[in-house]
């Protein structure tokens, strides 16, 4: 057995990461060990199931958790102004005031809370006095138990350098005023936001979707790390969990490989994918 190649193959098959991403870190990890030590390390790891703590701790340094509130604001502005009102309208016509979102690969949760805030803002304009009658939920999933734990806490602190608050656009600023004007160093999700959000540790490649009949899925800045065959399999899974007419938002650098089941939505600010079909009343 070649320990480095075995590890790279295992990481690709279990977590989906491409060889170019994992190889430098695998080589760095194995460098201090002699051949016997490398073999023993890999054999022990192969005995662990990919859901075991030991395996998840091994994979953690290979994951890239970069994220922040209102990331890719022009996409989100298009979503909030044009797409969310249309999706609410479709739900209303179908007779159910429910709205489900899945953030796949949510990292430390900033994306989930951003969408939670955007749903609240959009519903206030769309439903006005009736906003409270809507039941919204945003589910965040990630492979990393550490990120899921951080996300569940819903507390973010200003630190030096790049941080969660680095690029908040004018349309989201109202929610972060205290932090941005330096009255406080910590932002905490309020009770309403916490009630409408939840987090689950899940492997996007191996585990089923956390729900069905979903209105909106965000899967941003994660597929770029996966092999093409895995990207296709994941996109099929995402499509299957969307309701007819539901919308998929990928990252600007992610490539859509399953366009047949979707119509493209765009106004130059963003490109979103609307699943074909209509909700029946």
Ligand X SMILES: C[S@@+](CC[C@H](N)C(=O)[O-])C[C@H]1O[C@@H](n2cnc3c(N)ncnc32)[C@H](O)[C@@H]1O
Which residues of the chain form contacts with ligand X (CB under 6 A)? 15-16, 63-67, 71, 105-107, 111, 142-144, 147, 203-205, 220-222, 251
Classify strands 271-275 and 262-266 as parallel, antiparallel or unpaired.
antiparallel
Strand partners of residue 201: 142
User: Which is nearer to ligand X, 65 or 194 (by Cβ)?
Assistant: 65
Which residue number, 53 or 128, has a Cβ lying nearer to ligand X? 53
Q: Residue 222: helix, strand or coil by DSSP?
A: coil
DSSP 3-state of 179: helix
CA distance 65 to 84: 27
- State in angstroms the smallest separation of the CB of 244 from ligand X: 25
Contact 81, 267 (CB under 8 A): no
Minimum CB–partner distance for residue 279 and ligand X (Å): 26
What is the smallest separation between the CB atom of 36 and ligand X, expressed in angstroms? 31
Q: How far is the CB of 56 from ligand X (least distance, A)?
A: 10
Would residue 109 be called left, alpha or beta, if left means φ above 0 and alpha means ψ between -120 and 50 degrees? left
Measuring CA to CA, which residue among 187, 191, 153 is closest to residue 173? 187
**C-alpha neighbours within 13 Å on the C-beta side of residue 155:** 5
Residues 124 and 131 sit within 8 Å (Cβ to Cβ): yes
Q: What is the DSSP letter of 259?
A: G
Per residue, the 3-state secondary structure of 48-89, as one string, reads CCCCCHHHHHHHHHHCCCCCCCCCCHHHHHHHHHHHHHHHHH
What is the per-residue DSSP string for 200-218?
Answer: EE--TTTSPPS-SSEEEEE
Judged by beta carbon, residue 230 or residue 239, the one nearer ligand X is 230
Least distance to ligand X from the beta carbon of 263, Å?
Answer: 23
Q: Which helix (H) or strand (E) holds 2?
A: none
Alpha-carbon gap, residue 256 to 74, rounded angstroms: 19
Judged by beta carbon, residue 18 or residue 97, the one nearer ligand X is 18
Pick the closer one to ligand X by CB: 107 or 137: 107
- Minimum Å distance from CB 230 to ligand X? 9
CB of 31 to ligand X, least distance (A): 24
**Nearest to ligand X of 88, 142 (CB atom):** 142
CB of 252 to ligand X, least distance (A): 10
Whichever of 61 and 281 has its CB closer to ligand X, that residue is 61
Nearer to ligand X, 126 or 209 (CB): 209
- CA separation for the pair 207, 102 (Å, rounded): 14
């Amino acid at each position: 057995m070649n320990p480095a190649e075995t590890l790279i193959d295992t990481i690709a098959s279990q977590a989906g990461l491409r060889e170019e991403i994992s190889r430098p870190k695998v080589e760095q990890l194995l460098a201090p060990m002699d051949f016997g030590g490398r073999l023993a390390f890999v054999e022990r790891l192969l005995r662990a199931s990919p859901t075991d703590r030991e395996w998840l701790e091994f994979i953690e340094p290979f994951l890239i958790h970069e994220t922040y509130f209102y990331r890719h604001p022009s996409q989100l502005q298009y979503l909030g102004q044009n797409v969310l009102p249309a999706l609410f309208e479709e739900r209303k016509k179908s007779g159910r005031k429910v709205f489900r979102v899945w953030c796949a690969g949510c990292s430390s949760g900033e994306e989930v809370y951003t969408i939670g805030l955007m749903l609240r803002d959009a519903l206030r304009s769309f439903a006005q006095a009736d906003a409270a009658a809507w039941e919204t939920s945003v589910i965040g999933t990630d492979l990393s138990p550490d990120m899921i734990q951080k996300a569940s806490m819903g507390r973010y602190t200003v630190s030096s350098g790049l941080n969660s608050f680095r690029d908040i656009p004018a349309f989201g600023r109202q929610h972060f005023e205290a932090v941005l004007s330096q009255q406080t160093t910590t932002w905490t999700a309020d009770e309403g936001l916490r009630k409408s959000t939840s987090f689950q540790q899940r492997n996007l490649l191996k585990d089923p979707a956390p729900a069905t009949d979903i209105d909106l899925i965000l899967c941003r800045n994660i597929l770029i790390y996966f092999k093409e065959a895995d990207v296709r399999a994941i996109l099929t899974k995402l499509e299957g969990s969307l309701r007819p007419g539901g919308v998929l938002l990928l990252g600007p650098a992610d490539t859509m490989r399953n366009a047949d089941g979707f119509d493209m939505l765009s106004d130059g600010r963003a490109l979103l994918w609307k699943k074909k079909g209509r909700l029946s009343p």
